[in-house]
A = this chain, B = another copy of it.
Amino acid sequence: MPQLSTRHLLGIKDLTQTDIQLILETATQFKEVINRPIKKVPSLRDITIANVFFENSTRTRLSFELAEKRLSADVVNFSASGSSVKKGETLLDTVNNILAMKVDMIVMRHSSPGAPHYLASRIPANVINAGDGTHEHPTQALLDSFSMREKLGNLAGKRIAIIGDITHSRVALSNIFCLQKQGADVMVCGPTTLIPKHMAALGVRIGHDVREALAWCDVANVLRIQLERQQIKYFPSLREYSLYYGISRQMLDELDRPIVLMHPGPINRGVELTSDAADSPHSIILDQVENGVAVRMAVLYLLAQEK
């Protein structure tokens, strides 16, 4: 049986092309499973998985939890609120405690970039990064690639524009790595203040005009403006952001070639996308969510073989 080159999923940066290929192909099989009337397989029946979320999350935690339950794993949830983290315990002590209870895999979200890497080098369980600060969010990038491939086939040579707040987005960085490893041509597009300087070194195109980006690309992956992080200082006003970078259905319909519209959610309707764009036939936003469960099942299943 083909195997991953790693026993953790910390970031896309560490994956080989073959790893990505294997995960996406395995996910195809799990997507069939979750669309059958009987959505469950006994693959991880004797595996205990802890979802350790030091940052709040709805969709990612729920998606992992469903993936785990459909693989028949035993699941425990741990969130930072109400936990011993508040009592001054170190991250390593917290996780070692969970592991001493014989947990086999840890799915972790943490606000510090590198937190899952730090752990993975110190503990025997498989670690899956469910988002570390503004660094990586590898399962999001994998589900995004899976969703693009469903529409476009092989991504080599395809043009992907990542549009919006690149600076604060772990989704952007993981997507860039994932797409480049598959041979895609990547552009990041946003206001100068929201595109970090190191982007140039990554070999991506850099744009500031959303209409030019849309005219160029096969896929527009539109990032969320994280209102709750008060990034208002990076642009004059939400209204102005929306005026210059918001995407409407009309802008998509007027293009002279088909375009695929993506968004990692949750959408701010009326800010980065108008409602009619989000709900248009160009959009595969809900496919992304569905594929997220299949891709996470694939990752958990493959890592469980790598003890």
Contact = CB atoms under 8 A, between A and B. Distances in A.
A100 B266 contact: no
Interface string A41-61: 000001010100000111100
Nearest to A267: B93
Copies assembled: 3
A87 B226 CA distance: 8
A39 interface: yes
Interface residues of A, number: 56
A84 B78 CA distance: 18
A66 interface: yes
Given A58-B82, A66-B76, A102-B34, A227 B40 contact: no
A209 B172 CA distance: 57
Interface stretch (A110-118, A246-254, A289-297): A289-297
B102 A84 contact: no
B290 A62 contact: no
Nearest to A82: B56
Given A87-B227, A265-B97, A286-B96, A39 B35 contact: no
Interface in A14-71: 34-35, 37-40, 46, 48, 50, 56-59, 62-63, 65-66, 69-70
Given A39-B46, A88-B266, A266-B88, A102 B227 contact: no
Contacts of A86: 228
A35 to B, nearest CB: 7
A269 interface: yes
B102 A66 contact: yes
B83 A290 contact: no
A191 B49 CA distance: 42
A269 B38 contact: no
A296 B265 CA distance: 33
Contacts of A69: 48, 74, 76
A59 B97 contact: yes
Contacts of A180: none
Contacts of A50: 62
A242 interface: no
Contacts of A267: 89, 93
A101 interface: yes
B58 A84 contact: yes
A40 B100 CA distance: 16
Contact of A266 (B84, B101, B287, B290): B84
A266 B46 contact: no
B290 A66 contact: no
Interface string A78-107: 110111111111100110111011110000
Given A69-B74, A88-B228, 9 more contacts: A56-B82, A57-B82, A59-B84, A62-B98, A79-B82, A81-B82, A84-B266, A97-B286, A101-B293
